[in-house]
Structure 1
Amino acid sequence: MPGNTAPAGYDASKHPPFAVTVDLAVFTIRSGALSVLLVRRGADPYEGSWALPGGFIEPDEDAATAAARELVEETGMDTAGYHLEQLRTYSAPDRDPRMRVVSVAHLAFAPDLPDPTAGDDAAFARWWGVEEILEDPDAPQLAFDHREILTDALERVRAKVEYTTLATQFLSEPFTLAELRSVYGAVWGALPDRGTFIRKVLSTDGFVVPDDRSVDGTPTGSPHPALYTRGEATALQPALLRPRAGDEVWEGFGEV
């Protein structure tokens, strides 16, 4: 691997130093609502304000490693149960009053996440309904540019469940189709048409795999709802589109 020794003639002092952090938009579904993990900052800047969890990237870390570490520290769960991906980089010169700080933001989601434990620089941590934070005028204002990050992360998740099978990652296995449909309702803010949704899911090879039991443990084919597990498919073609603003009916699900 290349070393950290600067090449001859290179003057690092010509460039002002800056720090690099990771911020995390961590989503789960609680009581049927899409929720995001927020921490109340225990130190300046923005002491007492709510913010996304995150922290500085250590000298021996890359951004992905730092994000995974912060995720474990903030939730106490193994990253094997998460979907974690990089969102984008936020680099406005004045986004942090301490110094020039560039954030490599990530989003994560997983099913049944527990009550969180606050990290080193947080006084308290809790789950908030995403709709409450972004749409309620009385909701707390987020520190730094974290409202922008949260808005972008929400749009990424909404889009991802349109053209991928990642909605299943919000559920513990096995699950019913009604539970899977409720994920779309929580993420999009409205439920898809039941019949069209079921036809789409069951007609997509590898979207879900039938389990051999129903919800009460009896064999599939009993009057009780059937159970499913995640399939191997990752993409939906055609996509399962969200309703457009002003739509009176759910459209755009493609052929089923």
Structure 2
Amino acid sequence: MRRLSFFPLKKSSLMTKATVAAIIAPSETEPDTILLTRRNVTPFKDRWCLPGGHIDAEETALTAVVREVAEETGLQFSNPTFLCYSNEIFPEHNFHAIALAFYGVGIGPAALMPDEVTEIAWFPLREALTLPLAFNHTQILQHYAEAIHS
């Protein structure tokens, strides 16, 4: 009997990781202002991005996003709410992740954590959408813009 292969599988060296991304507003009344960080690590070193990172073993996505925001910005991430997911595949960087995006409010003073980021800045959402952001963060911000303006 002849074996049919409709969907040939390709082996890849990319390992898929689960990550989180945070859209942080300074208050609930200012959803059109968001915090971005400039990356100090590869891939996408020196690009602006949403705070976030990998979900650690035995950690929930919610716990991870709160931890990552604190580690990268010094802020407490208040009332994180799930927004969307993004399938991020960048073979040129040997990177594949499923990013879970949350939005919420940052409480406290922002503090630069130089191991991970070189800059932290608040941006009008409209301006942030024009920047060359890391990963698929522009798409995530487009989902956020649609959600807050609908």
How high is the TM-score relative to the length of structure 1? 0.47
Higher strand share: 2
Whether the 8 Å CA contact 2:88–2:99 is kept in 1: the answer is no
Is there any run of 5+ residues in structure 1 with no aligned partner, and where?
Answer: 1-15, 160-256
Letter in 1 for 2:147: R
Q: Percent identity?
A: 27
Query: 86, 109, 114: which one pairs with 1:114?
Result: 109
Q: Provide the aligned length of Structure 1 versus Structure 2.
A: 138
Q: CA deviation at 1:22?
A: 0.5
Partner of residue 55, structure 1: 53
Partner of residue 189, structure 1: none
Query: 123, 126, 129: which one pairs with 1:131?
Result: 126
Is there any run of 5+ residues in structure 2 with no aligned partner, and where?
Answer: 1-13
Whether the 8 Å CA contact 2:16–2:98 is kept in 1: the answer is yes
Partner of residue 180, structure 1: none
Whether the 8 Å CA contact 2:66–2:76 is kept in 1: the answer is no
Q: Considering only aligned residues, what root-mean-square deviation do their CA atoms show, in Å?
A: 2.9
Whether the 8 Å CA contact 2:74–2:110 is kept in 1: the answer is no
Query: 60, 72, 88: which one pairs with 2:70?
Result: 72
SS of alignment partner, residue 142 of structure 1: coil
Letter in 1 for 2:35: L
Whether the 8 Å CA contact 2:40–2:114 is kept in 1: the answer is no
For the pair 1:85 / 2:86, whether they are aligned, the reply is: no
* Structure ID, larger Rg: 1
Letter in 1 for 2:118: A
SS of alignment partner, residue 32 of structure 2: strand
Counterpart CA distance in 2 for 1:17 and 1:43 is 18
SS of alignment partner, residue 39 of structure 1: strand
SS of alignment partner, residue 134 of structure 2: coil
Partner of residue 20, structure 1: 18
Higher helix share: 1
Query: 148, 152, 155: which one pairs with 2:143?
Result: 152
How high is the TM-score relative to the length of structure 2? 0.75
Q: CA deviation at 1:156?
A: 2.1
Whether the 8 Å CA contact 2:34–2:122 is kept in 1: the answer is yes
Counterpart CA distance in 1 for 2:15 and 2:49 is 24
Write the mapping of 1:89-104 to structure 2, written as runs, cut at 5 A. Answer: 89-94=85-90, 97-104=93-100
